[in-house]
Every structure is written in structure tokens, then in C-alpha cells.
Amino acid sequence: MSEAFQYPQQGIRLTVDAVVFGYHSDRLQVLLIRRKYAPFEGQWALPGGFVAEPESLEQAVERELSEETGLKINYLEQLFSFGEPRRDPRFRVVSIAYMAIIRSDNMPLQASTDATDAQWFDTQELPPLAFDHAQILEKAITRLRSKLRYQPIGFDLLPEKFLFSDLERLYSTILDQPLDRRNFRKKILSFGILEELSTKVSDGRGRPASLYRFDLDRYQALQHENFYFEIP
């Protein structure tokens, strides 16, 4: 890993960036902050910042997110490290990007953060981003899509109790493809990781629908057997 006597004094700085996904009004959203200082002053960027000496990388991400928004993270995963020499115009910065998911329960509403530094954006209507953050985000979306197919992270984007139609819309929105309602239902229910609640709710139009809850315990139990979550 190194030679003994010469430790190069690198000018490389290390940051973490977070791609935080949320889901609101049938849209996949991402949390961006407005930069206060140069470079890219006033532009939108992914939340993140320098890693402090004693903290782990995950702690750095959680700290930055909590400092900026007080968000409670549901799911955190290392995405990729970005290290092109000129990605920051000031000096060399290598950034380790993480992907996070926030339940919409805990999300500040888009309207309520209006004109502040942190805002949710539809992934379909993004502003120009600082640095190589567009590239990071693109990679994150690709990863999210593929994870959605073989890990039950869809539930992490919904409130604790949700309608089956919410789940279906979430899948077809994020995967950007239509789904057959009957086949989707059959598949998801066949895993046996949803609990149907007795409550039925109606949004005023149409037939009232059952609420469902993701059964985490059951899912974890199944993982020890020969069980694979997968949406074809």
C-alpha cells in the first residue's frame, strides 16, 4: 500500500456527496442544495462536504445530511467514487458518492422549503448542476432502477402504510414502463412480505382500497431461506 519512508503529501481532498431520493406526487425526486460560494456559486448541487478526520464515510454523509436538513435516512448505500483530476476547478477533490432514500413521511414538503437552500426536484426537471454532479446523479438513477427490481427498496420510498396502487405507480414511474396490474399484484403478493391492514381508504373517487404495510421481519426471515425478491 505504500513504501516505508516516503509518504507523499497529497494535495488531494476527500469529500462525500449524497444522492437523496424521495418520492412525491408520483414523481421521483432528488434533494439538491444551492451553493453559497464559488465555484458554482448559486448553482444547485448534491448535498455533501469534506470528510472530517475521525469520522467514517457513512458518518460523514449522515452528518452532512443532518446538518443541512435534519432528514432521517432509511437506506444508505455507497454508489461510486469520482476522482477525475479536474472535476473541481480549485484543487483535486475525490468524492465518494452515496445513495440515500427518505420516506416521504419525513420529507419537508417542496412548498415549505421554497426559497431556502435545500429543495426537492423532480428527476425529470433538473436544473444545471455543479461539478460532475449530473453524472453522479445519472449513475444513481441507473442504480436505483436496477435495485428496485431485486431489492424491496420501493417500500422505503413510500409511507409506512400505502395502497397497492401507490406501489404499482411507484414502480412504473421509476422504471418508466407500464406494468400489468394483475401480474404485478400477483408477483408482489407471492413474496408474502406485505401485510394487508383491515382499514380501507378512499380518496373520494372510486372504490376504497386496502392499506398495506411492508413486513420487514418476514422479509428478513425469508432472506435466510432460498428467497429472492425480483420483479421481472
Partner DNA sequence: ACAAAAGTGTTAAGAATACACCCATGC
Partner DNA sequence: GCATGGGTGTATTCTTAACACTTTTGT
Q: Does 204 bind DNA (CB under 7 A)?
A: yes
Tell me the backbone φ, ψ of residue 101, rounded to 5 degrees.
-130, 135
Q: List the grid coordinates of 16.
A: 462525500
- Please choose, from the candidates 141, 226, 140, the residue with its C-alpha nearest in 3D space to the C-alpha of residue 191: 226
Our finding on whether 206 is near DNA (CB under 7 A) is yes
Does the footprint of DNA cover residue 164 (CB under 7 A)?
A: yes
Alpha-carbon distances of 167 from 164, 185, 187, rounded to whole Å: 5, 10, 12
Residue 232 interacts with DNA (CB under 7 A): yes or no:
yes
Q: Quick check: 95 binds its own copies (CB under 8 A)?
A: yes
Which residues between 29 and 48 bind its own copies (CB under 8 A)?
Answer: 35-38, 45-46, 48
Residues 181-200 close enough to bind DNA by CB under 7 A: 181-183, 185-187, 200
Can you tell me which of 53, 114, 125, 217 binds its own copies, judged by CB under 8 A? 53
Q: Of the candidates 66, 72, 78, 227, which one interacts with its own copies according to CB under 8 A? A: 78
Binding segment for DNA among 29-37, 51-59, 205-213, 217-225 (CB under 7 A)? 205-213
How far apart are CB 82 and DNA at their closest, in Å? 34
Give min distance, CB of 209 to DNA, in A: 3
Long-range contacts of 134-143 (CB under 8 A, 24+ apart): 135/82, 136/17, 136/19, 136/46, 136/79, 136/80, 136/82, 136/95, 136/97, 137/19, 137/30, 137/46, 139/79, 139/80, 139/97, 140/19, 140/21, 140/30, 140/79, 140/97, 140/99, 141/28, 143/79, 143/99
Q: Give the closest residue to 169 by CA, choosing from 148, 194, 143, 139.
A: 148
26 near DNA (CB under 7 A): no
The CA angle 148-153-158, to the nearest 5 degrees, is: 115
Of its own copies, DNA, none, which one does residue 128 interact with (CB within 5 to 8 Å by kind)?
none
Cβ distance to its own copies smaller for residue 50 or 116: 50
Distance CA 172, CA 196 (A): 22
Binding site for its own copies (CB under 8 A): 1-5, 7-8, 10-15, 17, 35-38, 45-46, 48-57, 78, 80-81, 83-85, 88, 90-96, 130-131
Binding site for DNA (CB under 7 A): 163-165, 180-183, 185-187, 200, 202-210, 230, 232
